[in-house]
Amino acid sequence: MAEKETPKKPALARTVKDKWRSKHVYKIRAPGLFQHVELGETVATEPEQVVGRTLETTMPELAGSGDAGKAHVKLRFQIERISGDGVAEARFIGHDLTSDYVRRLARRKRSKIDLSVAVTTKDGVQMILKPVAVGEQRLQSRLRAELRHRIVEVLGQEAQGKTSPEYVREMLQGELSRVLAHGVKALYPLKKIEIRRSEVLGTIADELPSAEPVPAAPEGPAPEAAVASDDGPAAA
């Protein structure tokens, strides 16, 4: 007599938890110096996971304009806190010039001077600036040393007379480079001088008391959002 097969119990359905459903989208807002414009979005399960994330954007993207004149200037922001309305508030932590732009500055047979200068603004915010100076021709060692000393001196003096928002505005709009060029002109008329990188070690005051914020965002559609991540700066 054939044995009856015992019917198999139906397998329990596995419950797959959708991780994305438990995540929330947080809009990222720039500080007052940049008119609190929206920088992008980031996702996280808990608000605490958002704090500390960084993102990067360019000057034209931040301003929402098609002007490519400042496309080589990349701005870096870091999320500092989540506001009461659920928006991630970011602070400005520095800027960089794109590597291809810096390479074009120093062509063959030109002398390049790289520095790293620590300055403190009138309101006590510390920053590290990394200027790059380019001469039209090869410079002697003594002249290079004198130019280095003068650049450090000018950057320090300018910082002491400006608040941190004023100093950042001057740096990003190119006015600080013009001040440097004028300051070293008596020693040697440099072909080009730029602040290729900055690092803000403190928190910059939200508002700019005596000048317009930078950059001024024109009316129109918002720029394409950048997405911040835990791994580092996100492409805008």
- What CATH number is associated with residue 160? 3.30.479.30
Contact 76, 204 (CB under 8 A): no
Whether residue 64 is predicted with pLDDT greater than 80 in this model: the reply is no
Q: What is the pLDDT of residues 100-143, one digit of tens each?
A: 998 888 776 678 899 999 999 999 999 999 999 998 888 888 99
Burial, 139: exposed, middle or buried (Cβ in 10 Å; 0-12, 13-18, 19+)? Answer: buried
In 3D space, the residue among 183, 200, 121, 122 whose CA is nearest the CA of residue 149 turns out to be: 183
Q: Which residue has the tokens 């922001």?
A: 77
Tell me the percentage of the chain whose pLDDT exceeds 90: 49
Lowest mean pLDDT among 16-20, 94-98, 109-113, 197-201: 16-20
| pLDDT at 23 > cutoff 50 | yes
Strands 226-227 and 38-44: parallel
The answer to the question of residue 7 being in a domain is no
Residue 64 inside a domain? The answer is yes
For residue 14, being part of any structural domain is answered with no
In terms of residue numbers, what domain contains 168?
21-227
| Residue 96 included in any domain | yes
Q: Is the confidence at residue 216, as pLDDT, over 80?
A: no
Q: Are 32 and 211 in contact (CB under 8 A)?
A: no
Between 89 and 2, residue with greater pLDDT: 89
Residue 9 lies in a domain: no
Residue 3 — pLDDT band, cuts 50, 70, 90?
low
Count of structural domains, the chain: 1
Does residue 16 lie within any of the structural domains?
Answer: no
The whole-angstrom separation of Cα 186 and Cα 130 is 22
**Assigned domain for 108 exists:** yes
pLDDT tens for 137-191 read 888 889 999 999 999 999 999 999 999 999 999 999 999 999 999 999 999 888 8
180, part of any domain: yes
Kindly state the average pLDDT of the residues 199-204.
92
